[in-house]
Amino acid sequence: MRHRIFGLILKELLALFRDKRSRFVVIGPPLIQLIIFGYAATFDVNRIPYASYDEENSGVSRDLLARFEGSRVFRHWGRIHSDDELAKVIDRKEVLLVIHIGRNFSRDLFASPPARMQAIVDGRNSNTAGILLGYVGQIVVDFNASWLPLHGIKPPPAVLQPRAWFNPNLESRWFIVPGLLATLTLVVSIMTVGLSVAREREAGTLDQLLVTPMTPSEIVLGKVIPGFLVAMGEVTLIFLAAVFWFRIPFVGNLLALYVGLAFYSLATIGIGLTISSVSATQQQALLGSFFFLSPAIVLSGFSTPIRNMPELVQWLTLLNPLRFALVVTRRVFLEGAGFAEVWPQFIPMALIAAGSLLGAWWVFRRRVG
Amino acid sequence: MSFAPMRLGALWRKEWIQIWRDPASIGIGVVLPALLLLIFGYGISLDALRLPIGVVVEKPNPLTASFVAGLEQSRYFAPHPYGSIGVAEEAMSRTKVEAILWLWGDFTRRGLREGNAPLSLIVNGVDANTARLMEGYFQGVWGQWLDWEAKTSGEPILTPVDVESRIWFNPALESRHYLAPGVIVINMTLVGALLTALVIAREWERGTMEALLSTPVSVSEILWSKIGPYFVLGMGGMAVSVGMAVGLFGAPLVGSLWVLFLAAALFLLSSLGMGLVISTAFRSTFLASMVAVVATFLPAFILSGFIFDIGSMPGPIRLFTYLLAARYFVALLQTIFLAGNVWSVILPNLAALFLMAALFLGIAWRMSRRSLE
C-alpha cells in the first residue's frame, strides 16, 4: 500500500512539474507577487505632493512652511496664490494637501493665539488623508514646542511620547510581507490542489485511477501529500525571500512557524480538495476556488483589521484558516513568539483541516460508489 | 477581412445560447459582482473605532483623571485600567490591548511645575497602519485636553498655532466611501478577464475554437462575437455594482452616470481584450485562469491605488502601474464618485483606457489570426 501511494505522489508531482508552463505557474507568480506586493503594498506615505498657499509671507509663516519642506513625508509641489488655484490643484490631483496660512497669521500668533493654519486635504483616499493629517499635526506640534520656550511661555503640562513595540519605525512592509507568506501559500495550494481532481475528472484520468486497485482514501492521500510538499516548499521559498530579500526581522521560533504553517497547509489543501471533488468540471472548480479565495483574503485581517468588521462578519472569520495563519506568521516574525504564544491558533486550523479532509474523502467515496 | 452582419448575428446567438446553458458565466457576470461587493463593502474598513487601550496611572489625581476622562469620551478608544505597567505589558503581549498609556508617578508634579511631563504611549507596531492612525487619534485627544485644561485653569492658551483641517470630497473620512468605487474596479477586472479566460481557453482546449476558425467566419467576426455577449454581461454586473454601492453603502455619486458608464465600457473592453490575449496564449483553462488571476485580480487589488497610495510606491513599481488599466479606472471612479466631473482628471484617464482597450484587442486579433495559419 505504501508503495502504491508513493507511486501516486510521484505521478502527481511529475504532472505538476513536468509541464513547463504549469511549473512556471507554481513557482513564478508567487515570487513575482511577493516582490511586487512586498514593495507596493504599503500604507506608509511618503513624497506626498503639497502646495503652500501663504497669504502673509512673513518670517514666522516661512519658518512654519520650512518645516514641511524639511520633512521626508512631504514634497513641495509649488506655491499657489488664490482660492481658485487651490480648488484646481486639489480637483486635478496635482497635490493631496494644501497648507494655507492666512493674512493675519503672525498678528494672531503674538496678540491672540492660537493662530490658525489650514490644512486642505484630498479625501478621495481616506486612509492616506488620515495619515497625512497626522503628520501635519506632528509638524505643528513640534513647531509649537520650539516656539514656546523661545518666547518665554510656560510649556504645556504634558507632551506626547509615543513609542512602538515590535516595529519601531511603523513600517507597514513588516506587517504585509509576513502576511504574504500565508496569503500566497493559500492561493497556490487552493489553485493547484483544488483544481487537480476536477482536471483529472475532465481529462478522464480519474476513471483510470478508480479502476486501479487503489482505495478512495489512498487516492485522497495521493493528492494531499504532494500538495503538502508543494505548499511547504512554497512556504520555504517565500520565507527565505522575506528574510533575505526584504530583511524582515525574524525573532521568533522557526519550528513554531513551520508547525503552524503545516496545520495551515493541510487546512487549505482540505478546502481545495473539497471544492474540487464537489465540482464536475474544471471551470466549476475554478469558480468555487474563487468564491472561496476572495472572501478568505479580504476577511482575514491581511490588509484591514478584523476588529473593524461588523460583529457577524467577525464570527464568520473564525472559519477562515488564513485568519489564524496570519496571527502565527506575524507574531512569530515580529513579536518573537514561540509555541507557548501561538499554539491556541493551531487548534482551529487543525479542526478546519480535519473537517475539510474528511469532507473531501466522504464526497470522494460517495462519488466513487 | 470580411465582415458580414448576418454571420455575426448567428455567432452572437450561438454565444448567448452557450451562456444561457452554462450557469457559470452568468455566475461570474452577475452573481460574483454582487457577492464581492457585499463582502468587500462589509468586510473592508480602515476606520478603527473603540481601540482597546490599557491605562496605567501610577498616582491618580484630578489632572490625570481629566486626561483619562478625555480618552474615555473619544470614540476611537476603549480604555481598560491596569494597576501596574507590568500587568499592562502582559496584556499587550497577549494582544488584549493595542496600546498602553502610562502616566508616571511624577506626572502631575512635573506637569504643573515645569511642564512637558511625558504622556508615555506604547503602541503595538505590528499593524503599522492601525498604530499610526492610533497615534493620530491620540494626538487629537491630547490637543482637546490641552484646550480644556487651558480654559478651566485660566492659564494662558498653550497652543501658539492650531491646525484647522478641511477634508474635501469625504469630510468624515469614511473609508467605505472611497473603497466602494475601488471594489467596482476589482469586480469589473474579474468579470472581464476571468470570463473570457475561462470561456475562450476552454474552447481552445476542446478544439471547438479551431472548428470555428475553419469555417468561413473571419477572425474579427469571431472576436466580436466573443466580446459582444460578455460585454453585455459585464455591463450588467457594473449596473448591479453601482446600484449596490450607492443604494446599500451610501457612496455618493457626484459625477454623471453616463461618464461613469463610458469609463466602465472602455475598461471592460480592455479587460476583455486582456482575457482574450491570455486565453489565446495559454489555451488551457487551468493556466489561463491562473494567469488571469495573477495578472489582473491581484494587481487590481494592490497596485491600482484602490487601497494603497500609488504615489508612495517605489519608482519602478510606480512606472509599472501605468501599464495597468485598473489604475486609470480607479482614478476615474474615485473622482466621478466623490469629486464630480473633473474633466482634467477624467479625459486623460479615459484616453489611457481607450489606448489600452485598442492595444489588447489588437494583440488578440493578431494572435488569433496567426494561429490560423
SS (H, E, C) A81-109: CCHHHHHHHHHCCCCCEEEEECCCHHHHH
A interface test, pick of B112, B163, B177 with most A CB neighbours within 10 Å: B163
Minimal CA separation from B311 to chain A, in Å = 7
pLDDT of B220 above 60: yes
Mean pLDDT of B171-198: 75
CB contacts of A108 in chain B (<8 Å) are none
Rg (CA), chain A: 28
Q: Where are the domains of chain B?
A: 5-44+175-372, 51-153
pLDDT of B158 above 70: no
Cβ–Cβ below 8 Å for A122 and B168? yes
Nearest residue on chain B to A284, alpha-carbon basis: B24
* C-alpha distance from residue B303 to each of A174, A356, B261, B325 (Å): 18, 33, 23, 11
pLDDT of B3 above 80: no
CA atoms B340, B345, B348, B352: torsion sign: negative
How many Cβ pairs within 8 Å bridge chains A and B? Answer: 331
pLDDT of B94 above 90: no
Share of chain B above pLDDT 70, in %: 95
Contact B91, B135 (CB under 8 A): no
pLDDT of A197 above 90: no
Residues 6-45 on A with a CB inside 8 Å of B are 21-22, 25, 29, 32-33, 36-37, 39-45
Tell me the pLDDT tens digit for each residue of A154-166: 777 777 788 888 8
A287 touches chain B (CB under 8 A): yes
A interface test, pick of B165, B177, B296 with most A CB neighbours within 10 Å: B165
Mean pLDDT of all residues belonging to chain B = 82
Q: Kindly report the CA angle at B354 between B346 and B318, in degrees rounded to 5?
A: 70
Residue B217 has what pLDDT? 79
Tell me the pLDDT tens digit for each residue of B311-324: 888 888 889 889 88
Contact B185, B331 (CB under 8 A): no
Residue A304 has what pLDDT? 80
pLDDT of B371 above 70: no
DSSP string, B109-125: HHHHHTS-EEEEEEEE-
Q: Which of B262, B261, B202, B205 is nearest to B226 (CA)?
A: B202
DSSP string, A236-261: HHHHHIIIIIS-----S-HHHHHHHH
Contact A319, A292 (CB under 8 A): no
pLDDT of B241 above 90: no
Cβ–Cβ below 8 Å for A115 and B136? no
CB contacts of B116 in chain A (<8 Å) are 155-159
SS3 A115: strand
- Take residue A242 and report the three cell numbers written for it: 522575506
Q: The cell 500566497 sits on which residue? A: A184
Q: Confidence class of residue B359 from pLDDT cuts 50, 70 and 90?
A: very high
Minimal CA separation from A4 to chain B, in Å = 27
Residue A15 has what pLDDT? 78
Q: Which of B32, B132, B46, B42 is nearest to B306 (CA)?
A: B46
Question: CA–CA separation, A126 vs A142, rounded Å?
Answer: 25
Tell me the pLDDT tens digit for each residue of A285-304: 877 887 888 888 888 888 78
pLDDT of A367 above 90: no
Question: CA–CA separation, A116 vs A109, rounded Å?
Answer: 8
Tell me the pLDDT tens digit for each residue of B138-149: 888 888 888 887
Question: CA–CA separation, B351 vs B113, rounded Å?
Answer: 64
Q: Strand A115-122 to strand A97-101: parallel, antiparallel, or no bridges (unpaired)?
A: antiparallel
Q: Which of B218, B181, B212, B195 is nearest to B269 (CA)?
A: B195
Cβ–Cβ below 8 Å for A21 and B284? yes
- Considering A194-203, A318-327, B157-166, B207-216, the range whose residues carry the highest mean pLDDT is A318-327
Nearest residue on chain B to A23, alpha-carbon basis: B287
Q: Confidence class of residue A323 from pLDDT cuts 50, 70 and 90?
A: very high
Contact B358, B272 (CB under 8 A): no
CB contacts of A116 in chain B (<8 Å) are 161-164
Minimal CA separation from B142 to chain A, in Å = 8
Minimal CA separation from A118 to chain B, in Å = 5
* C-alpha distance from residue B141 to each of B75, B125, B166 (Å): 10, 20, 18
CATH fold of B51-153:
abc type-2 transporter like fold (3.40.1710)
CB contacts of A284 in chain B (<8 Å) are 24
Residue B46 has what pLDDT? 67
Question: CA–CA separation, A357 vs A352, rounded Å?
Answer: 8
Nearest residue on chain A to B33, alpha-carbon basis: A291
Question: CA–CA separation, A52 vs A68, rounded Å?
Answer: 9
Residue A128 has what pLDDT? 83
Nearest residue on chain A to B94, alpha-carbon basis: A341
pLDDT of A131 above 80: yes
φ and ψ at residue A212, rounded to 5 degrees: -75, 165
Tell me the pLDDT tens digit for each residue of A33-76: 888 888 887 777 888 899 999 999 888 899 999 999 988 889 99
| Of B162, B287, B313, Cβ closest to residue A42 | B313
Minimal CA separation from B157 to chain A, in Å = 7
- CATH tag, A48-150: 3.40.1710.10
Minimal CA separation from B259 to chain A, in Å = 17
Tell me the pLDDT tens digit for each residue of A220-274: 888 889 889 989 998 999 999 999 999 999 999 999 999 999 999 999 999 999 8
| Of B128, B140, B313, Cβ closest to residue A175 | B128
Residue A98 has what pLDDT? 94
Q: Which contacts (CB < 8 Å, 24+ apart) does range A109-117 have?
A: A109/A60, A109/B160, A109/B161, A113/B157, A113/B159, A113/B160, A113/B161, A114/B157, A114/B159, A114/B160, A114/B161, A114/B162, A115/B160, A115/B161, A115/B162, A116/B161, A116/B162, A116/B163, A116/B164, A117/A64, A117/B161, A117/B162, A117/B163, A117/B164
Mean pLDDT of B204-212: 80
Tell me the pLDDT tens digit for each residue of B251-285: 888 889 999 999 999 999 998 888 888 888 877 77
Helix (H) or strand (E) holding A349: helix A339-368
